[in-house]
Chain A
Amino acid sequence: MSGEEIRGRSRDLMEALFRKLPSGVGSSRKDFELRRRDLHRVLEEGVGWTLEQGFGTREDRAHIEAEGCIPGADPSRVSDRALERGKRQLGTVGSGNHFVEVGRVQEIFDERAAAAMGLAKGMATVLIHTGSRGLGHQVCSDYISVMIKAARTYGIDLPDRQLCCAPVESREGRDYLAAMAGAANFAFVNRQMIMHWTREAFSELFGSGNGGLELVYDVCHNIAKLETHRVDGMATRLCVHRKGATRAFPPGHREVPERYRHVGQPVLVPGDMGRCSYVLAGTEAGYSETFGSACHGAGRVMSRKQAKKAAGGRSIVRELEERGVMVKGASRATLVEEISDAYKDVNDVVNVLHQAGISRKVAKLAPLVVIKG
């Protein structure tokens, strides 16, 4: 499907997405309720559970990091409070910088990689940016208490208590990794469900099976993973913590889906809702210099308070509309905090990645319709 087709019906699409995708505090789909038993399975099985429920396809699974299930997840390491926070939030976008963005491919930088990823100039795209919601945040809060104690137990001196930690192989470390894997699996399922409902919206408006949407890639951000990398020439087992970062594996790596193995893993770098976003590909240089990691967004340049001030009496919705972007958020407050001016220019950020060789530019996506939680 082309971006032009979307442009003609962008308001309809925005309304359809807003109806289908629960966004805003406390909202959830009336036709979907999760039982406690299922929540455990979501944490343990990730996308395996989603497929069984009829959300998404087998082909999707091959294009998800770790095939949509980080092994070793243990729901018994996740508190009741975290489960309770997550139970009603599965299948919701959430607020803050989370969004669903429909766009079009504005520019192709690498024809070969773009072809492998099924991207062509003018083609319609969808970016879904959300994660483990309240469940993940509660896992974080719970384990920070555990880690503060653990740091004392293991004699680790902390410059700031938020940097609390424990050895990976300790009981605390293993418990945390088992809980975190559960949260990551919850996030895979969350995105898969949102993708399913997005496909429904496309299908209703434009016809065609699956709404004509094929999954390019689903990748985690803000996660720690046990991986083997070369350190001083030696293959070494590491716990790679990608905070504010995402995975960017090189061509040839066995964890890169077969379809992309000759060009490298698709790396997704969303920008702000007014400018653009990028698809890049992982590189050998990135693999050796950053343990196969890239940034996962542009990063803020203004505090939320400054953004509010800068937005003043401006109509953010109208401003974006004039730039060809339709945007709808559950609250004005979110839109105001997320104005373009509040972020670094993603073009600059991505050029740094590209020039430093950490990842390679493949395609630039321009937004057409944005749903903010």
Chain B
Amino acid sequence: MEGFRYLDHTGDLGIELFGRSREALFEHAGEAFTDIVTDPATVHASFEVEISVDGADVEQLLVEWLTELIYRFDAQGWLFRRYRIRSLDDHHLSGTVQGEPYDPDRHPIRTTVKGATYHQLEVTRTEDGWKARVIFDL
């Protein structure tokens, strides 16, 4: 499987991610975040932004990556449609994201996210790639 799916969680919201590579896994994490917040089909890839984050290991990197996207939306009003990870190792990630500023008339808000958590966080290797689980604090 490739992409993401929602997990049922009483208090908050969880996602399960699948990717053939770690890069794909992180790109799907970005796509899942956009899908949580709004309808991705309404977001135009009009602008490109460079993003890089650091972490002590791949799991922390995943939380930091999502924390960065939450911050860009909550503080700066950015919504992204396309995610491209250029380089990714155990401690560093850099990539480009494409999107546009949030427009209340065009972007329906589904849920707002307070933060990405480490609760039950997992990034694991599978037979055909990578799998992860993240719970968001809503």
Residues of chain A having any CB pair with chain B under 8 Å: 24-27, 81, 84-85, 88, 94-96, 134, 137-138, 140-141, 144-145, 148-149, 160-162, 164, 300-306, 330-331, 333-334, 337
Contact = CB atoms under 8 A, between A and B. Distances in A.
B118 A303 contact: no
Given A304-B138, A333-B108, A337-B111, A144 B118 contact: yes
A27 B60 CA distance: 31
A162 B108 contact: no
Given A25-B102, A84-B75, A337-B111, A148 B118 contact: yes
A140 B136 CA distance: 13
Given A306-B8, A330-B109, 12 more contacts: A84-B75, A88-B75, A95-B111, A137-B70, A137-B115, A138-B74, A141-B67, A148-B118, A161-B119, A301-B10, A303-B13, A334-B109
A134 B108 contact: no
B71 A333 contact: no
Nearest to B6: A305
Contacts of A96: 111-112, 114, 138
A241 B80 CA distance: 36
Nearest to B66: A141
Contacts of B9: 303
Contacts of A333: 108-111
A33 to B, nearest CB: 15
A305 B10 CA distance: 9
Given A160-B120, A161-B121, A305-B8, A26 B77 contact: yes
A85 B74 contact: yes
Contact of A303 (B8, B115, B117): B8
Interface size class of B (residues with CB under 8 A): 20 to 34
B4 to A, nearest CB: 14
B41 to A, nearest CB: 16
B13 A141 contact: no
Contact of B109 (A25, A81, A149): A25
A26 to B, nearest CB: 6
Contact of B117 (A24, A88, A162): A162
24 contacts: A24-B104, A25-B104, A26-B77, A26-B104, A84-B76, A85-B74, A85-B75, A94-B112, A137-B114, A141-B70, A144-B117, A148-B56, A160-B120, A162-B117, A303-B9, A303-B13, A304-B111, A304-B138, A305-B8, A305-B13, A331-B108, A333-B111, A334-B109, A337-B111
A331 B39 CA distance: 13
A302 B11 CA distance: 8
Contacts of B128: none
A161 B71 CA distance: 21
B29 to A, nearest CB: 15
B27 interface: no
B115 A140 contact: yes
A32 to B, nearest CB: 18
B48 interface: no
Interface in B80-112: 102, 104, 108-112
